[in-house]
């Protein structure tokens, strides 16, 4: 593997065919992509369709049944053997289709959650999927990014990378651009390189891509990562264990069936085949696969509602969420900052105009002010635009931004005065940057003015900036910042905050040439000259107020967490319905004074946390979890990652979020909208409810089959069903209706119920009662059909009637399974069209078997009279009436406490 750390930037540029001014052209990048392949690590190979098909036959009961069928063929029962084999192949095919759909859905989900990167191509900064990066590309790095490929750095601004993924060293490494003149250097000492998979913790930088995909340093160890690990949710694990337990119970019952059958004089081979067929039908071996499909389909619905699930277990937890802790900016608000007011040299200036279009006016006391004629205003606007990393772009008459919306609003305001950032940066050459971080709450740049004077521009949180200022700028002169003037500035800040404006302060100072490589924070950020304030509005999202009310009806408490002032936070929270009189607001300073125990006591009464840092979020999560709350926490920055990991559901912003935040999160919002979190919680609840529906359906049907055969043999009757019939009923009822229940639409009260306890079992409430009672009823009516047929007609008629009653009554059960509480007529018979279609298909197949003469012979059934058909239909509909009565009497569900 070629080394680049010991080569100069010029040499690497030539070798990789890079262009440090404009980057690669789009056409050249496409050519290299076709030549080199995508920038991806090798992954474990997925299973082929044939492997999936073979896996369907690896169940021990299926193997026993196949062996028994083979023995039957050798003894002359070829017809039965062929039919059993066909049914098992059809069952396996259905299983393969289900698994394939689930895997394709999850693969598509993984592609949607794939990382992106910023590159310079055709002279423009572009955001592209990381997989499209090619050698020779110029990649831009910022705090919170994951490095998408191996890079030779050629520009850095206090760049630090966390390289523990490669080196095991968790302490961030400072990067530089100089040549490392050593033949061999360990990865941890290659300070002019950035490696794929490492994280930017601080600063900014640019680098030339030297290697992609498997050619990267990460690619060298990718073989260790190649084994694909299938993600399993806690529910799937519980169901898997439950299936094994049910399998053991079923085997015991089947053994009893065989023993009783032999005692009743039935031939060993006949009763053995019956027992094994019953075991195959009764054990819900496909349950985990169906759960995976329902989860995958639910995840696809979430994508349409702007929420990408990164970890499948999160779907289960979402439905149990009791607290949503949300950032204010961009999540509760529109994140379209517009500067509305300025304060400078003792006066307020109103700024007109909306959005990102750089058109507007500056008004002081109703009179228009022209920045080119006002030194103080000119300095404020220029400083705000120069100490800034956002960009304003026009495309086909529409204006958009690249970068942080707060910074972008400053650029737009400067552009309204004719100060365009690109022009300013040419005139005021940037020499150095001290990047923003959440501890300092400010950013600084050192620029050289057209006159050659080195000047520091600083912007950030007003309370932090004011502390660093000894002077202020008024009427083109530096003056002392007295205590009286400080108080006046604080008063203006509070006024702006009371109007729900977010406030930034700007300061500057000339700096002296020191003859050293770079200025330090201590040298720059002290004895500053205060220039002014910018107050910007970020309007609340219109849909959030309704979502907040939905949360409250659903027993979910929304909490606002923001770095803004308490008065600003309170104003926005009140508008959205998050804050009511009597609610508590806790500031970051107050939070620091509280012990963990005190915070745990107060956190339940708190609706707003203001002036908090990302580190405070972890304390808030911990306090809420100690109160046994299930917490969803939003975040977008690199420092939010610990809180996102600690929360039960970490929610990252897809638009403004950093790669580090997205990697730590369980859920990524593609629109950064609070309403999407609430919608995702609703989907989580719906998925869990639908899983319970088809479990209730499958198990009640399986119990009905077991009871039918077991009681008949105990009573001393002949077998009501033969093996082929048992397997057929299992095939047509376990497939389509069960899947259709998995996509049942949400009920009217989905978000009007309290969140479920995440520790409750799948059979909590009346689940076990309903499965047992309804399964017993299905078994009993099947025996009634068998009794009537045998008593009044003949054994072949009796078996045909039992076969028809069992299969059609199970289709009735599919309708019953839609709700434990509400009547099917209140839900609407046609409200789940997928289920209606599934019942129609399964019903048609059963009618075909009972009416088509060649199949009658195969399944050992006979033609029936009109009276016999009326008996079957009446008995098959009886479960609907039975369950409707249970619902009406309130027996089938847990009543809410008064």
- What are the φ and ψ backbone dihedral angles of 394, each rounded to 5 degrees? -115, 130
- Cα–Cα distances in angstroms (integers) from residue 820 to residues 459, 688, 736, 799, in the given order: 59, 14, 21, 32
Token pair, residue 51, equals 């492997």
What's the burial of 450, exposed, middle or buried (CB within 10 Å: 0-12/13-18/19+)?
Answer: exposed
**CB atoms inside a 10 Å sphere around CB 857:** 11
Long-range contacts from 394-403, C-beta under 8 angstroms, 24+ separation: 399/355, 399/356, 399/357, 399/358, 400/356, 401/356, 402/125, 402/127
Calpha distance 38→513 (Å, rounded):
47
- Cα–Cα distances in angstroms (integers) from residue 474 to residues 417, 480, 505, 529, in the given order: 19, 10, 15, 10
Contact by Cβ (8 Å): 721, 709: yes
Calpha distance 727→276 (Å, rounded):
10
Calpha distance 147→158 (Å, rounded):
16
Catalogue the E-assigned strands of 541-598.
Answer: 557-561, 584-587
Give the bridge partners for 433, in sequence order. Answer: 445
Which one is catalytic: 80, 327, 564, 636? 327
The full 3-state SS of 743-767, as one line of letters, equals CCCCCCCHHHCCCCCCCCCCCCCCH
**CB atoms inside a 10 Å sphere around CB 479:** 14
Contacts of 185 (CB under 8 A, 6+ apart): 5, 6
Three-class DSSP category at 618: helix
Residues in the chain: 898
C-alpha angle 120-122-127 in degrees, rounded to nearest 5: 40
Calpha distance 427→431 (Å, rounded):
12
DSSP state of 224: G
Calpha distance 64→772 (Å, rounded):
28
Q: How far apart are the first and last CA of the chain?
A: 72
The full 3-state SS of 467-503, as one line of letters, equals HHEEEEEECCEEEECCHHHHHHHHHHHHHHHHCCEEE
Token pair, residue 207, equals 């680098």
Query: What angle in degrees, to the nearest 10, is found between the helix axes of 866-888 and 795-816?
Result: 30
Torsion angle of alpha carbons 809, 815, 820, 826, nearest 10°? -130
Contact by Cβ (8 Å): 170, 164: yes
Catalogue the E-assigned strands of 163-290.
Answer: 173-174, 193-194, 199-211
Calpha distance 160→128 (Å, rounded):
23
In 3D space, the residue among 401, 428, 398, 426 whose CA is nearest the CA of residue 413 turns out to be 401
Token pair, residue 518, equals 């770079």
The full 3-state SS of 532-548, as one line of letters, equals EEEEEECCECCCHHHHH
Three-class DSSP category at 570: helix
C-alpha angle 66-68-71 in degrees, rounded to nearest 5: 110
Token pair, residue 159, equals 């760049």
**CB atoms inside a 10 Å sphere around CB 842:** 24
Whether 327 is catalytic is yes
Chain centre distance of CA 400: 27
Positions marked catalytic: 327
């Amino acid at each position: 593997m070629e080394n680049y750390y010991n080569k100069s930037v010029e040499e690497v540029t030539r070798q990789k065919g890079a262009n440090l001014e404009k980057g690669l052209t789009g056409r050249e990048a496409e050519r290299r992509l076709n030549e080199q392949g995508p920038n991806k690590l090798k992954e474990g190979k997925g299973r082929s369709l044939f492997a999936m098909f073979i896996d369907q036959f690896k169940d021990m009961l299926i193997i026993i049944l196949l062996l028994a069928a083979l023995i039957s063929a050798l003894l002359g029962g070829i017809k039965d053997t062929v039919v059993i084999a066909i049914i098992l192949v059809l069952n396996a095919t259905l299983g393969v289709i289900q698994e394939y759909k689930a895997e394709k859905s999850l693969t598509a989900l993984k592609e949607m959650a794939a990382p992106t990167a910023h590159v310079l191509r055709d002279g423009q900064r572009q955001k592209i999927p990381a997989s499209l990066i090619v050698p020779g590309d110029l990649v831009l790095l910022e705090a919170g990014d994951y490095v998408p490929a191996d890079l030779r750095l050629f520009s850095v601004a206090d760049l630090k990378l966390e390289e523990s993924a490669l080196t095991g060293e968790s302490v961030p490494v400072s990067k530089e651009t100089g040549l490392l003149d050593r033949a061999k250097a360990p990865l941890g000492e290659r300070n002019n390189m950035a490696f794929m998979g490492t994280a930017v913790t601080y600063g900014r930088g640019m680098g030339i891509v030297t290697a992609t995909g498997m050619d990267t340093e990460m690619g060298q160890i990718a073989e260790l990562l190649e084994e694909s690990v299938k993600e399993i949710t806690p529910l799937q694990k519980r169901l898997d264990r439950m299936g094994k337990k049910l399998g053991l119970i079923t085997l015991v019952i089947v053994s009893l069936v065989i023993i009783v059958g032999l005692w009743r004089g039935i031939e060993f081979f006949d009763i053995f085949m019956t027992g094994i067929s019953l075991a195959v039908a009764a054990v819900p071996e496909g349950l985990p696969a169906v759960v995976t499909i329902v989860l995958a389909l639910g995840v696809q619905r979430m994508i349409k509602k702007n929420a990408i699930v990164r970890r499948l277990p999160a779907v289960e937890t979402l439905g149990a969420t009791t607290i949503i802790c949300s950032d204010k900016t961009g999540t509760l608000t529109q994140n379209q900052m517009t500067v509305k007011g300025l304060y400078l040299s003792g006066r307020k200036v109103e700024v007109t105009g909306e959005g990102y279009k750089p058109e507007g006016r500056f008004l002081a006391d109703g009179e228009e002010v022209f920045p080119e004629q006002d030194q103080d205003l000119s300095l404020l606007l220029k400083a705000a635009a120069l100490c800034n990393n956002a960009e304003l772009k026009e495309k086909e008459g529409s204006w958009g931004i690249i970068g942080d919306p707060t910074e972008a609003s400053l650029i737009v305001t400067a552009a309204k005065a004719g100060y365009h950032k690109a022009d300013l940066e040419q005139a005021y050459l940037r020499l150095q940057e001290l990047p923003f971080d959440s501890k300092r709450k400010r950013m600084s740049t050192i620029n050289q003015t057209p006159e050659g004077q080195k000047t520091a521009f600083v912007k950030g949180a007003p309370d932090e900036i004011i502390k660093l200022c000894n002077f202020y700028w008024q009427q083109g002169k530096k003056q002392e910042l007295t205590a009286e003037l400080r108080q006046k500035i604080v008063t203006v800040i509070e006024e702006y905050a009371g109007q729900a404006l977010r406030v930034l302060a700007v300061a500057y100072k000339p700096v002296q040439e020191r003859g050293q490589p770079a200025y330090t924070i201590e040298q720059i950020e002290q004895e500053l000259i205060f220039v002014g304030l910018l107050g910007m509005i970020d309007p609340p999202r219109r849909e959030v107020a309704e979502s907040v009310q939905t949360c409250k009806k659903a027993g979910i408490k929304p909490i606002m967490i923001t770095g803004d002032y308490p008065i600003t936070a309170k104003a926005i929270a009140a508008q959205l319905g998050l804050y009511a009189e009597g609610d508590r607001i806790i500031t970051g300073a107050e939070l620091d004074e509280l012990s963990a125990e005190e915070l745990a006591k107060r956190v339940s009464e708190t609706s707003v946390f203001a002036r908090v840092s990302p580190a405070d979020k972890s304390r808030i999560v911990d306090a809420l979890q100690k109160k046994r709350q299930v917490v969803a926490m939003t975040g977008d920055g690199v420092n939010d990652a610990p809180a996102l990991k600690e929360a039960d559901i970490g929610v990252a912003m897809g638009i403004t979020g950093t790669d580090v935040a997205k990697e730590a999160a369980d859920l990524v919002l593609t629109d950064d909208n609070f309403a999407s979190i609430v919608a995702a919680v609703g989907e989580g609840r719906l998925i869990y409810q639908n899983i319970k529906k088809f479990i209730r359906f499958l198990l009640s049907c399986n119990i009905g089959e077991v009871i039918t055969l077991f009681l008949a043999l105990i009573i001393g009757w002949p077998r009501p069903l033969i093996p082929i019939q048992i397997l057929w009923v299992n095939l047509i009822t376990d497939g389509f209706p069960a899947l259709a229940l998995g996509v049942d639409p949400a009920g009217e009260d989905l978000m009007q119920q309290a969140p479920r306890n995440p520790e409750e079992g799948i059979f909590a409430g009346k689940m076990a009662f309903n499965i047992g009672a309804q399964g017993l009823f299905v078994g009993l009516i099947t025996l009634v059909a068998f009794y009537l047929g045998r008593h009044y007609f003949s054994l072949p008629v009796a078996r045909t009637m039992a076969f028809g009653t069992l299969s059609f009554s199970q289709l009735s059960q599919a309708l019953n399974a839609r709700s434990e509480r509400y009547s099917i007529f209140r839900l609407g018979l046609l409200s789940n069209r997928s289920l209606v279609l599934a019942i129609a298909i399964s019903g048609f197949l059963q009618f075909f078997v009972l009416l088509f003469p060649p199949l009658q012979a195969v399944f050992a059934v006979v033609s029936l009279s009109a009276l016999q058909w009326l008996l079957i239909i009446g008995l098959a509909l009886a479960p609907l009436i039975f369950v409707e009565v249970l619902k009406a009497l309130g027996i089938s569900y847990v009543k809410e406490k008064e």
